[in-house]
Structure 1
């Protein structure tokens, strides 16, 4: 994953502190701009796994 662009898709609804739009926690969203590139990539990878775990509840950005 080479991009560290903010993954927000403007859904911003939470299930157990995880956004169903981007898969990040509230803490990760809040600290996003302060994270370095490596930390952002880690958050993106973890968020992707969370979205998979959320299954049909998660809203993914249409391609």
Structure 2
């Protein structure tokens, strides 16, 4: 149980560090950004954003096949 707790804490610390760096990154002025949220069971969600408009468009990409 202690090993699992240590692994979870390490994963949370790593995620927090990475998220902090992402949130403090300067914006990409003059560029569109396509954000993709992978959804393995129900398909991916996508959003297109830039600095001039908070939200351009969104789409769902449905999973097909097996």
Query: TM-score scaled by structure 2?
Result: 0.31
Between structures 1 and 2, the one with greater helix share: 1
Query: TM-score scaled by structure 1?
Result: 0.32
Between structures 1 and 2, the one with greater strand share: 2
> Relative contact order (alpha carbons < 8 A, sep ≥ 6): 1 or 2 greater?
1
Highest Rg: 1 or 2? 2
